[in-house]
Amino acid sequence: MGFSSLVLNIPLIILGYRFMGKHLLSYTIWGTICLSFFLWLWRLFPIISLNLDHDLFLAALLAGSLSGLGLGLVFRHNGTSGGTDILARIAQIKYGVPSGKVLFAFDALVLVASLTYLDITHMMYTLFASFILSRVMDAVQQGAYSARGLLIISDKYKEIGQMIDLKLSRGFTYLEAKGGYKEENRPVIYVVVEPREVPAIKDLIKQEDPHAFVGIIEVHEALGEGFTYKQKQRHLFIRK
């Protein structure tokens, strides 16, 4: 298995050279060699023997989670482990598509084709493992910390901004925007908060302006003051 994996990766490595360059390609070659070596090694000398033949669901869950964790770390540091990982990296570089989704799409195609020799039960459990892999991989690659970004449109933007500063001790930014209907210039408040602070800031906005428009977006990683350094001590919901 290890040798065949190495041989089959050669055409994909050549393809990857055209899109990833020498630096990323060197990581890919190293990752491919390591994967092939350890596939060979662990089949001969398994460290941990887990008898999961009786529980395919647990086997698929463990396989997907651990593989997703490993691939997420590899992709986070600009490498791949060969195979369809190379195609996923190319799609991410060229088109901005999350690598986990690309891997899952390729795996699904291969698994559907494998029904010619594989039973439907094992195929579906493998597909489930691939889905878990893609989700964990994207989560690890994008960052373990998540936050929420709020875009707030209100005529009382100054009052809302002051309350965000006083009650939540969060910095915010005024974005210059133009209304689509009246085409009037108006500021939009952009603020990033922790997920647990969302109910408090929603109540704060409602108190100042019940008709304010609020858009909440998921921020996969937040860096800077208040998130990665110089964090102020807070109470459970808001600062008194």
pLDDT in tens, 141-172: 776 556 889 999 999 999 999 999 888 888 89
Residue 213 has pLDDT above 70, yes or no: yes
pLDDT number for residue 228: 56
Residue 239 has pLDDT above 60, yes or no: no
pLDDT in tens, 59-100: 899 989 999 998 888 888 777 777 777 788 778 777 767 788
Q: What is the mean pLDDT of residues 162-185?
A: 87
Q: For domain 147-219, say whether CATH 3.30.70.120 is its number.
A: yes
Residue 236 has pLDDT above 50, yes or no: no
pLDDT band of residue 226 (cuts 50, 70, 90) is low
Residue 237 has pLDDT above 50, yes or no: no
Residue 56 burial (CB count, 10 A) = 16
pLDDT band of residue 231 (cuts 50, 70, 90) is low
* Domain residue ranges in the chain: 2-142, 147-219
The string of DSSP letters for the chain reads -HHHHHHHHHHHHHHHHHHHHHHHHHHHHHHHHHHHHHHHHHHHS-SS----TT-HHHHHHHHHHHHHHHHHHHHHTT---STHHHHHHHHHHHH---HHHHHHHHHHHHHHHGGGTS-HHHHHHHHHHHHHHHHHHHHHHH-S--EEEEEEE-TTHHHHHHHIIIII----EEEEEE-TTT--EEEEEEEEE-GGGHHHHHHHHHHH-TT-EEEEEEES---SBTTTBSPPP--SSS--
